[in-house]
Amino acid sequence: MNVRTRSALKLGLRYAIAIAITLFFLFPIYWLFMISFKTADEIYAYPPVWWPSTLQFGSYAVLFRDGDADTVWNSLVVSGVSTVLAMFFGTICAYSLARFRTGGDHLANWIISQRMVPPIAIVFPVFLLYVWLKLVDTYAGMILLYTAFNLPYVIWMMRGYVLDIPVALEESALVDGCSRWAVIWKVVFPMCRAGLFATAIFTFVFAWNDFIFALVLTRTEVTTYTVQVTHYFGGQSNFWSKISAMSVLGTLPIFVIVGFMQRYLVRGISLGAVKG
């Protein structure tokens, strides 16, 4: 066996392993998605049906008819608005930390440490606060909480992106007579557009995928899709088609978004420790 066939064999073997691993990680997602397209008979068939004979959209029709699908809209509102707020306040704060070293390392460390507190320890006192402020089960309450929860992440990430911008650009804009605010709008924001975009996506995904905050702080008015999914859990009579269809409605948008931003993924999920 010469060197060439050996390296070809090795590559083939690595391909086989790579495909096997990928199948393992994708199969549960396939299974989840597929159940939403099955008929009830196929869902509760023994042995299980691995490939539905036809694509049924009945599960989705039920969710839209009963208004359950509105919870996806609620997720969109609270995640979207909180992302915009966190991005704006977080980025100007990050700019100040990066350029002027406002508060020094202490302030920066304090901010990132806010992110490390377990959600359950935050949500419990916040719940008591919200009962008092009448913010339980309101858009405003959820938006405020997600904004606060995501601020440390935004500040941390954007600080890194701002530090990547050459200071000379801002200085020349100042010399040209731009005000401080104009420098931020006309130089900083455009220069770290990619960073803003990537960070916003992650901020959105964190809020979108959250369960525990929504579980505690919503009742009926602003229930998010993650909480709605758990409404179908229960004993023997699992509403599997609803669990599946609701999960697909919540998961598919994330898959689409992530598909478009592979480039920024590594830096985003490693809290900026690895530049992608």
Partner 1 sequence: MAATAGRSGDRGFRYSLVAPSIVILLLIGVFPLVYLLVVSFQGITMMETDTSFHGLLNYRLLFSDARLWQSLLHTIVFTVVALPIELGLGLAMAQLFIDRLPGRQVFVALLVLPVVVSPIVAGATWSLMFDNRFGPVNEIIGWIAGKEMPLLWTVKPDLVYVAILVAEIWQWTPFMFLLLLAALSRVDRSQLEAAQIDGAGYWRTFFRIVLPAIWPVMAVAILIRGLDLFRLFDIVWALTKGGPGTMTETISIFTYVKGFQQFETSYTAAVALLIIVLLSVLVLTALRRVSLSR
- Within positions 152 to 211, which residues make up the interface with partner 1, using CB under 8 A? 152, 155-156, 160, 167, 170-171, 174, 180, 205, 208-211
Give the nearest distance from C-beta 47 to partner 1 in angstroms: 6
Give the nearest distance from C-beta 221 to partner 1 in angstroms: 18
Q: Using N-to-C axis directions, what is the helix angle for 104-114 and 139-163, rounded to 10°?
A: 140
Measured distance CA(114)–CA(109) in Å, rounded:
9
Q: Give Cβ neighbours of residue 34 (< 8 Å, ≥ 6 apart).
A: 51, 52, 244
User: Is 139 an interacting residue with respect to partner 1 (CB under 8 A)?
Assistant: no
Taking CB under 8 A as the binding criterion, the range among 51-59, 63-71, 189-197, 262-270 that sits at the site for partner 1 is 262-270
What backbone torsions phi and psi does residue 129 show, to the nearest 5 degrees? -65, -45
Nearer to partner 1, 61 or 163 (CB): 163
Give the nearest distance from C-beta 242 to partner 1 in angstroms: 11
Closest CA to 138 of 151, 150, 127: 127
Amino acid at 238: N
Nearer to partner 1, 29 or 61 (CB): 29
Q: Give Cβ neighbours of residue 37 (< 8 Å, ≥ 6 apart).
A: 52, 55, 56, 57, 59
Amino acid at 252: L
Nearer to partner 1, 61 or 129 (CB): 129
Q: Using the rule CB under 8 A, which residue among 112, 178, 191, 194 binds partner 1?
A: 112
Cα diameter, the chain:
78
CA dihedral 183, 185, 190, 195 (to 10 degrees): 100
Residues 11-70 that bind partner 1 (CB under 8 A): 11, 14-15, 17-18, 21-22, 24-29, 31-32, 35, 43-48, 50
Residues 228-247 that bind partner 1 (CB under 8 A): 229-230, 233, 240, 243-244, 247
Q: Using the rule CB under 8 A, which residue among 62, 92, 140, 191 binds partner 1?
A: 92
Q: Using the rule CB under 8 A, which residue among 66, 73, 197, 270 binds partner 1?
A: 270
